[in-house]
């Protein structure tokens, strides 16, 4: 029976060419066309329903974020941390790094408006914890001078935070020689700086200086460690803040996280940031480091402390602020200040470490980059009243925006960028 069926099927197949050629050729072709057209429509509908692929680790820091925690630790009593057995992966040497030749990374953490207030966190790769470049020797000299002049007020560790500060120092002594072997060499007692000739013993007790001060000598970053209290608040109990520009460790030391931000009039903190920030600090784990970037404009060329907002060595009874800054100074006095901040929890002490690396350049220099003047002008114009006051826009906006607009016009005129650069720029990898 099966054989008969197969024979019948074969006979019908053999008749297909004849049938097509005689009567059904138009029908067959029409059917094929209809099938292909239907398949095309179905494919398009499926593609429209699929979410667009997201760029890994590069969210827009100035738009609301739905970032979820990469890891969440077990429930625990506030202020109590049980050391965990975690060791970050050994970093490879930074490819081709040279203390004289490696340029700073060109962070440009601003976009065309509108401006949104968010924490703006993105995942950090372990290899990139500390960034050093050919500005290292200048930063090192500035820090050394400021430690000699005012180390006791700018580098401090509370007694209850000493173990965390030493833990941070030990981690730097482990990480830096691996990542920057042409600058640092690990020794049985600590670390040597090959270029400056400094040798640091981190095993002797007591240590020769505050451990946060030693940490400051090793990197270009400012450093701070927050520790959780029994009330669930995080307190600034260890820091080396030498090149912050706009704030002093002595004003914030010992404060809880919320008060640090409210005392500094951080825009939108209570309404948009506080809850998310407190939740983040509570849940962040040693295996979940993150990064964020921010930016400011400054109307003097002083990296360590912006004298335009007031004297660094006042009696601390008179608030510093933008009201003291000279209005509309020449564009040559405008500087772009950007911070790259990393946050991670130390596995032994449980402290949350901030590294705060500052990048500092003349506005006239970054405005030469394609698209930057137009994008920065749009970002500055999009600030709300609270952000504008916090960033001091009223003191420099007239000169700054006129200059940026003219540079943007010239870039369009020369064909460096298109007239619709704002739309074309949407695909730019953030925060560069």
Kindly report, residue by residue over 98-112, the tens digit of the pLDDT: 999 999 999 999 988
184-187 and 352-362: which strand pairing?
A: unpaired
HSE of 372, CA atoms in CB hemisphere, 13 A: 16
Contact between 129 and 215 (Cβ < 8 Å):
no
Q: Which residues, 6 or more positions from 408, have their beta carbon under 8 angstroms from its beta carbon?
A: 373, 374, 377
pTM, entire model: 0.81
Res. 157: pLDDT tops 50: yes
Q: Mean pLDDT, to the nearest integer, of 358-366? A: 98
Task: Please check the confidence at residue 56 and state whether its pLDDT lies above 60.
Answer: no
Domain membership flag for residue 418: no
Answer yes or no: is pLDDT of 374 > 60. Answer: yes
Cα 15 to Cα 9, 11, 20, 24, 33: the distances in Å are 10, 6, 9, 12, 23
Domain boundaries, position 233: 122-292+339-358
Q: State in Å, rounded, how far the first CA of the chain is from the last one.
A: 74
Q: Which residues contact 131 (CB under 8 A, 6 or more apart)?
A: 105, 220, 340, 357
How many residues does this entry show for the chain?
432
156 in any annotated domain: yes
- The H-or-E segment that residue 156 falls in is strand 155-157
Return d(Cα 141, Cα 195) in angstroms, integer: 13
**Res 119: pLDDT:** 74
Instruction: Give the pLDDT score at 276.
Output: 79
127 token code pair: 């290899």
Cα separation, 139 vs 214, in Å, equals 14
SS3 344: strand
> E strand or H helix at 34, and its extent?
helix 25-49
Mean pLDDT confidence for 295-304: 96
In the predicted structure, residue 19 carries a pLDDT above the cut 60:
no
Three-class secondary structure of residue 237 per DSSP: strand
Averaged pLDDT for residues 371-382: 96
- Is residue 4 assigned to a domain? no
pLDDT of 396 > 70? The answer is: yes
Full DSSP string of 4-32: HHHHHHHHHHHHHHHHIIIIIHHHHHHHH
Mean pLDDT computed over 15-43: 47
**What is the band of 277 on the pLDDT scale with cuts at 50, 70, 90?**
confident
Does 41 score more than 50 pLDDT?
no
Helix (H) or strand (E) segment spanning residue 226: strand 222-228
For residues 165 and 214, the answer to whether their CB atoms sit within 8 Å is: no
Read off the pLDDT of each residue in 17-36 and give the average, rounded to a whole number. 47
For residues 289 and 307, what is the distance between their CA atoms, to the nearest angstrom? 34
Lowest mean pLDDT among 8-12, 103-107, 148-152, 249-253: 8-12
Question: How confident is the model over 312-329, as pLDDT tens digits?
Answer: 987 656 678 898 899 999
Per the model's pLDDT, the better-predicted residue between 339 and 7 turns out to be: 339
Q: pLDDT band at 307, cuts 50/70/90?
A: very high
Indicate if the pLDDT at residue 133 is higher than 70.
yes
pLDDT tops 80 at residue 226: yes
Return the percentage of the chain with pLDDT > 90, whole number.
66
- Is a pLDDT exceeding 60 seen at residue 71? no
What is the Cα–Cα distance from 269 to 274, expressed in whole angstroms? 5
What pLDDT does residue 310 have? 92
| CA–CA distance, 239 with 156 (Å, rounded to integer) | 6
Instruction: Using the predicted structure, report yes or no on whether residue 39 has a pLDDT greater than 60.
Output: no
Rg from Cα positions in the chain: 29
- Residue 244 falls inside a structural domain: yes
Cis omega before residue 273 (within 30°)?
Answer: no
Report which of residues 260 and 45 the model is more confident about.
260
Higher pLDDT, 191 or 428: 191
The reply to whether 158 falls in a domain is yes
Segment 125-134 shows an average pLDDT of: 97
- C-alpha 418/C-alpha 307 separation (Å) is 39
pLDDT digits (tens, 9 = 90+) for 254-267: 999 888 877 667 77
Q: How many domains does the chain have?
A: 1
Inter-residue contact 162 to 228 (CB < 8 Å): no
pLDDT band at 426 (very low <50, low <70, confident <90, very high): low
Whether the predicted pLDDT of 180 surpasses 80 = yes
Q: Is 426 helix (H, G, I), strand (E, B) or coil?
A: helix
pLDDT above 70 for 43? no
Asked if residue 365 belongs to a domain, the reply is no
Segment 182-201 shows an average pLDDT of 98
Using pLDDT thresholds of 50, 70 and 90, give the confidence band for residue 32: very low
- The answer, yes or no, to whether residue 69 has pLDDT greater than 50, is no
Domain presence at residue 161: yes
8 Å CB contact between 424 and 414:
no
Query: Is 304 within the bounds of a domain?
Result: no
Question: CA torsion, points 236, 242, 247, 250, in degrees to nearest 10?
Answer: 50
For 316, which DSSP code? S
Q: How far apart are CA 368 and CA 196, in angstroms?
A: 34
Which has the higher per-residue pLDDT, 345 or 74?
Answer: 345
Provide the strand spans (E) within 275-382: 290-298, 335-345, 352-362
Taking residues 141-170, report their average pLDDT.
96
What is the dihedral angle through the alpha carbons of 376, 379, 381, 382, rounded to the nearest 10 degrees?
180
pLDDT on residue 31:
52
Rounded CA gap, 219 and 173, in Å? 11
**Two tokens at 4?**
């008969």
Q: What is the mean pLDDT of residues 157-181?
A: 98
Give the per-residue pLDDT at 80.
Answer: 92
Lowest mean pLDDT among 8-17, 164-173, 300-309, 362-371: 8-17
């Amino acid at each position: 029976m099966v054989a008969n069926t197969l024979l019948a099927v074969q006979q019908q197949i053999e008749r297909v060419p004849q049938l097509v050629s005689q009567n059904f050729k138009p029908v067959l072709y029409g059917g094929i066309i209809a099938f292909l057209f239907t398949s095309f429509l179905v494919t398009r509908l499926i593609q429209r329903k699929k979410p667009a692929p997201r760029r890994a680790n590069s969210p827009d820091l100035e738009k609301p974020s739905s970032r979820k925690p990469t890891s969440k630790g077990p429930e625990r009593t506030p202020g109590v941390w049980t050391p965990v057995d975690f060791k970050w992966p050994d970093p490879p040497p930074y490819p081709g790094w040279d203390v004289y030749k490696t340029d700073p990374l060109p962070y440009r953490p601003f976009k065309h408006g509108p401006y949104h207030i968010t924490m703006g966190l993105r995942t950090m790769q372990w290899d990139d914890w500390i960034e050093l470049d050919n500005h290292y020797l200048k930063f090192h000299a500035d820090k050394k001078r400021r430690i000699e002049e005012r180390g006791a007020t700018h580098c401090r560790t509370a007694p209850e935070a000493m173990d965390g500060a030493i833990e941070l120092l030990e981690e730097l002594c482990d990480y830096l020689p691996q990542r920057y072997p042409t600058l640092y060499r690990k020794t049985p007692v600590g670390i040597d700086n090959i270029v400056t000739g400094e040798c640091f013993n981190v095993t002797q007790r007591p240590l020769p200086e505050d451990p946060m001060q030693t940490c400051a000598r090793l990197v270009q970053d400012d450093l701070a460690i927050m520790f959780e209290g029994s009330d669930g608040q995080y307190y600034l109990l260890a820091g080396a803040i030498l090149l912050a520009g706009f704030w002093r460790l002595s004003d914030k030391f010992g404060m809880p996280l919320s008060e640090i931000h409210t005392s500094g009039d951080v825009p939108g903190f209570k309404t948009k940031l506080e809850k998310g920030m407190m939740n983040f600090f509570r849940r962040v784990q040693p295996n979940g480091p993150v990064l964020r970037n921010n930016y400011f404009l400054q109307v003097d060329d002083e990296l360590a402390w912006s004298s335009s907002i007031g004297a660094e060595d006042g009696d601390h009874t008179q608030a510093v602020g933008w009201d003291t800054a000279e209005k509309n100074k020449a564009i040559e006095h405008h500087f772009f200040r950007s911070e790259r901040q990393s946050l991670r929890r130390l596995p032994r002490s449980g402290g949350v470490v901030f590294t705060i690396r500052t990048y500092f350049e003349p506005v006239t220099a970054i405005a030469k980059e394609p698209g930057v003047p137009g994008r920065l002008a749009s970002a500055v114009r999009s600030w709300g009243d609270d952000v504008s006051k916090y960033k001091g826009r009223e003191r420099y906006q007239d000169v700054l925006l006129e200059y940026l607009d003219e540079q943007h016009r010239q870039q369009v005129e020369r064909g460096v960028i298109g007239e619709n650069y704002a739309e074309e720029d949407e695909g730019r990898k953030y925060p560069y």
